[in-house]
Every structure is written in structure tokens, then in C-alpha cells.
Amino acid sequence: MAEKLRSTILDELKEAKYDSSILDSTPDVCFGKCLEESVVNYLDSLKVDVKNCRGQRYDNASNLAGKYNGLRAKIKSYSERAHYVPCSSHSLNLEARADAIRAIINGFNKIKSALQKLEEDVSQKRLTRIEARGLYDKMNSFEFCLMTVLWNQVLNRINATSKSLQEITANLNIVCILYESLIGYIQELRNDFDSIGEQPKEICENFTDAIYSTDFQ
């Protein structure tokens, strides 16, 4: 099946003439020059001319995306029109964002307390105290609490799905199941907003029921 797929792709490539390269690798295992040799030699073995490359897309590892010594620069030396486009998934860095949201929820009151102390500390710079007060007021809003809880659920689920998709045991059937499950989860969350539960109210201890029930866009 793999050989048939490779043959079909090569036939389509020869018909189209121009191509783009998409490559993933273990970060920092080898340098741009090493990757260049691997890619060029592999393309030569397939009788694909690297000079016809018109696009490159990699993750943000320096050995791939480096402007001067990364693979993007090496391929560019063969084809000036091989423009580089950063991988949107790696640029979003959802794992870091999921961890950040989780950290806010787990340390919500401690973060607020630290901001309050910064704002009250007269030894701090005026700008620092103003920024601390602004962040404290933002965290003290119900909208912030609600959106933090919502994004925590969404990003954690997306991050878990993303990691499962990268497992070496993943196949087409597993990928379809994972995507269908994720889509179903997001739709259920959208259609049943009350399922978020009482967590926003719990982390915003100073809010009344009237504020909690207020609608906002």
C-alpha cells in the first residue's frame, strides 16, 4: 500500500512539475547541512528535481526553520522560489497554551494575591503597580473566569487529541475516530454551555449569583 501511494504521488508530481516539501524531524538531532544531504539524496533517488521546489513547510526547530543555516536556507540555495511557510500548528503551540491556562486555574487565588501585593508595594515602579492592578481587575471579572474555564476544557482536549495523533501506532482508522470524537466534544460543549458547571463561580468567590447569571457577548 505504501509503495502504491508513493508511486501515485510521484506520478502526480511529475505531471504538475512543481512541488512543495513538508518535513518533520526530531529537533536538534542533526544540523541543516545533514538534513540537506538527506533530502536532496532522497529526491535524487526518486528522480525529483529539487530546483522545481516552490514551497517549504516545517516545524519551528532551528535545524529546519533556521533562516541562515536551517534546511529552509539550504533548499533556498537550490531554488530561489522555494518560499518557506511556518507550520501553523507549531506556531500556535497549543500545548504551551493549555499548560498556561491550567496553571492559571490551579493557582488562581495565589496569582491574584501576588498581583495585589505588587500593586500595594510602594517600592515597585509606578508602571509595574499599574499593570499589576490592571491584571488583578481583569482576573476579578466573571468573563475572565468563564473564558478561562472554557478554554481550559477546549485546549486540553485538543492537546490530548494532538498527542494521540502523533503516536507511532496511529493509523487512518484511529485518526478518523480521534477527529470525530474531538468534533463531537466541541459541538456538545457549544450546544450545552451549562455543562461547564459551577467551576467559574467557584474560582470567582466574590461574585454574586446575579453577576454569575448575567449574559454577555
Does one domain contain both 34 and 101? Answer: no
| Cβ-proximal residues to 89 (8 Å cutoff; 6+ apart), any chain | 162
Does one domain contain both 54 and 15? Answer: yes
Q: Summarize the confidence of residues 3-26 as an average pLDDT.
A: 82
Q: Could you report the per-residue pLDDT of 168-192, keeping only the tens digit for each?
A: 888 889 989 999 999 999 888 888 7
d(CA 76, CA 56): 9
pLDDT of 88: 59
Residue after which a domain boundary falls, among 90, 125, 157 = 90
| 22 beta partners | 57
pLDDT of 106: 86
In a domain, 190, yes or no: yes
Contact call for residues 76 and 45 (beta carbons, < 8 A): no
Residue after which a domain boundary falls, among 64, 90, 116 = 90
Q: Could you report the per-residue pLDDT of 99-128, keeping only the tens digit for each?
A: 888 898 888 889 999 999 999 999 999 999
Does one domain contain both 42 and 117? Answer: no
What cell was used for 214? 448575567
What is the percentage of the chain residues whose pLDDT exceeds 90? 18
**Overall number of domains in the chain:** 2
Question: pLDDT-based confidence at 86, cuts 50/70/90?
Answer: confident
Does one domain contain both 85 and 110? Answer: no
Query: When comparing pLDDT for 138 and 58, which is higher?
Result: 138
CA-based nearest residue to 47, from 74, 5, 20, 17: 17
Written as one string, the DSSP assignment of 28-52 is TSS-HHHHHHHHHHHHHHTT--GGG
Helices (H), the chain: 2-16, 32-45, 62-65, 71-78, 88-92, 94-106, 108-120, 126-139, 142-165, 172-191, 199-203, 209-212
What cell was used for 8? 501515485
Full-model pTM: 0.56
Q: In which domain, by residue range, is 77 found?
A: 11-90
Does one domain contain both 199 and 187? Answer: yes
